Structure 1
Amino acid sequence: MRATILLFVLGGLLTGPVQAADAMSWVKRLAGVEQRQSFHGTFVYERNGVFSTHEIWHQVNGDGAVRERLLQLDGPRQEVVRAGGVTQCIAGGMSGQLGAGQLWPARQLNAADLSSWYDMRVVGESRIAGRDAVVVGLVPRDQYRYGFELHIDKETGLPLKSLLLNEKGQILERLQFTQLSVDAPGDDALKPSDSCQAVPEGKPSEASKVAWQSEWVPPGFTLSSTFMRRSSVSDDQVVSLDYGDGLARFSIFIEPLHGAKIDDARTQLGPTAVVSKRLNTEDGGMMVTVVGEIPSGTAERIAMSVRPRAQGAAGQ
């Protein structure tokens, strides 16, 4: 019933006839498109009722190397430059802002595996930024994740519009191109401005060496990366565990408290759930924080399942 209601709502958002094309084939085209297709464009981003406008330059070299520059066009100047998915510099605190990874969350998906967790259907056609698109609805098969509506460019497979939807079909997040060129941007366009400050790169860690693990994650979510990062408020190292199912993603952060009295917290920032739980340990406790565009109940259950890894246990 849940899937039927959301698909009905998806259809109600669209104009044009329902298409019989294979949704699986369109999702396969979407996977990895940012490593195949250069482009330059402008898009609007809506989150929690707030809109912002961005310009993006995305260059794919002949060897598959990806460079990207993102500039916010309204409000305070914010900028980020990335190479190979690694942030090179930021201006205005934009390190956590949108990039190719958010433009197409399905870039590392296996479409066949994804069908185990989402009901995928072509629900119509649309026209975005003057380009023809196929609209694919992805409705979660459980309560642990949100649904998506993706408007995929017929010519290139690029996502021209993406909606994140709750179980009632309400829009939690919108990203939509208003202008798009699929010509490769020049090197000059990818040069950072003088205000873009270099940032230190997080240190990747082998999963087998990380002393923490989550004993429960939603079906289909796997550990994609682990990092050791310096805390923003101390010299402590913070463990970061990143999970994804090919579409949805969340991160777990584990930071030592050294006896500090900090209460548990639960916050919903638009589509993003932030849940922090104190875990008592012999050395003064740890704060476990789960952040992701997942339902708050899912984040709460994940946070409560984080435990120290038994010595000698294999990486998860």
Structure 2
Amino acid sequence: MNLSMPIPARRLAVVFVALCVTPFAVAQLRSDPAAKKPMTRAPVGEAPNLASFGVVEWLQRLHTASRERSYVGTFVVSASAGNLSSARIWHACEGDLQLERVEALTGPARSTFRRNDHVMTFLPDTKVVKSEKRESLELFPNLLGAPDSSIADFYGVRVLGHDRVAGFDTDVISLVPRDSLRFGYRIWSEHRSGLVVKLQTVDGDGKVVEQSAFSELQLDAPVKVHALSQMMQSTAGYRVEKSELERTTSMAEGWALKTPVAGFKPTSCYRRAMGGAGARERTVQWTFSDGLASVSLFIEPYDAQRQPQEVVLMLGATYTMTRRLVDKGGDWWLTVVGEVPPQTLEAFAQSLARTR
């Protein structure tokens, strides 16, 4: 399994999507009767009374702000290992249309554009544009029928106080996990709008394993959807590579979890070509989420000449585990990636089973 984006850039992209905090939380509102009451909106220019907000109401506020405000800013991600990535971000919204441009300021040159769930990444050094659909940016409709899917079962919320970030007054909250299968989060949100401007991921000991923040931010910037759309469509001189994804199910691919991992619900399952378009072999990507953290299982045929030894790697809040799986049905190579503690990846690896 070859992740196409270099790790520092991939972490930057992952954390930025997390800062638009989580479309999944909105889906939870639709499936949790206790959360269906409308959130009270304050008059324009005033912040709502946040003292009584629960975790779902907080996530709704943060998510709504990310979809209703245009902005431009410089975004920085730092990991405990000393890795540092930064990007310039332009975000525009027009009704249900969300359009972003993310320009990497560190590492190899790249510009990533997102128009709702359509993502295009421009690589000027190789004159390649990678085009793909990312369902993880959607509202996870497959989860809407799950009666027990409630993020409040797995996270609590505490209001920590107030602070200033990038010149803005912010409310600071802590999302506290109720078990050891997930990290906690400290979130700084702009006081009036709720837009997330800083995020820390913390482990079970309260240690910050990753931090991301806007070092400079202009809210309600005059970013035009039309202008960003034109830039996204300007592929002259580039070779466009479309990601070959085929929607499937774990059952159809012959995989199941013997025991569910608490709180994590399947959100999507795809097959993708291992060696580019037209390749016969396929990697199965099965993705799960608890509403904040996500875990992806990549399963492919084992190749002794291509696959390295089994390892557990860490970069900031992201852990990667590789494992060889041998059973009567075949020989497989598993890669598990997630913004979760390593024991969570181990739980997935131990539970994964071949069904045919």
**TM-score normalised over the length of structure 2:** 0.70
Superposition CA RMSD, Å: 3.1
SS in 2 for 1:294: coil
Q: CA deviation at 1:149?
A: 0.4
Q: CA deviation at 1:288?
A: 1.2
1:237 to 265, 282, 295: 282
Question: Given the alignment of the two structures, is residue 185 of structure 1 paired with residue 230 of structure 2, yes or no?
Answer: no
Who is 2:188 aligned against?
151
Q: CA deviation at 1:286?
A: 0.7
Q: CA deviation at 1:247?
A: 0.7
2:257 to 184, 207, 214: 214
Who is 2:98 aligned against?
66
* Conserved 8 A contact 2:99-2:228: no
1:268 to 309, 314, 324: 314
Question: Given the alignment of the two structures, is residue 51 of structure 1 paired with residue 79 of structure 2, yes or no?
Answer: no
Who is 1:314 aligned against?
none
User: Which stretches in structure 2 are left out of the alignment for 5+ residues?
Assistant: 1-48, 138-142
How big is each residue's C-alpha offset from its partner over 1:179-203, in whole Å with a ceiling of 9 and x where there is no partner?
2322351233451476876342352
- Structure 1 distance, partners of 2:273, 2:162, is 46
Who is 2:29 aligned against?
none
Query: Aligned pair in 2 of structure 1 residues 264, 53: CA closer, same or farther (>3 Å)?
Result: closer
Who is 1:40 aligned against?
72
* Conserved 8 A contact 1:67-1:83: yes
* Conserved 8 A contact 2:311-2:321: yes
Q: CA deviation at 1:170?
A: 1.2
Q: Which amino acid aligns with 2:74?
A: T
SS in 1 for 2:348: helix
Q: CA deviation at 1:156?
A: 2.0
Residue identity over aligned pairs, in percent, reads 27
* Conserved 8 A contact 1:23-1:121: no
- Structure 2 distance, partners of 1:161, 1:283, is 47
- Structure 2 distance, partners of 1:252, 1:60, is 32
Question: Given the alignment of the two structures, is residue 129 of structure 1 paired with residue 166 of structure 2, yes or no?
Answer: yes
The structure that is helix-richer by fraction is 2
- Structure 2 distance, partners of 1:188, 1:131, is 27
Q: CA deviation at 1:281?
A: 3.7
Question: Given the alignment of the two structures, is residue 303 of structure 1 paired with residue 349 of structure 2, yes or no?
Answer: yes
Q: CA deviation at 1:264?
A: 2.5
Who is 1:88 aligned against?
120
* Conserved 8 A contact 1:149-1:163: yes
Length, aligned pairs only: 281
Who is 1:168 aligned against?
205
- Structure 2 distance, partners of 1:29, 1:240, is 31
Moved over 4 A (4+): 92-95, 192-197, 232-235, 258-262
Q: Which amino acid aligns with 2:218?
A: L
Who is 1:289 aligned against?
335
Who is 2:295 aligned against?
250
- Structure 2 distance, partners of 1:22, 1:202, is 46
- Structure 2 distance, partners of 1:235, 1:79, is 31
- Structure 2 distance, partners of 1:147, 1:232, is 37
- Structure 1 distance, partners of 2:205, 2:53, is 22
User: Which stretches in structure 1 are left out of the alignment for 5+ residues?
Assistant: 1-18, 103-107, 311-316
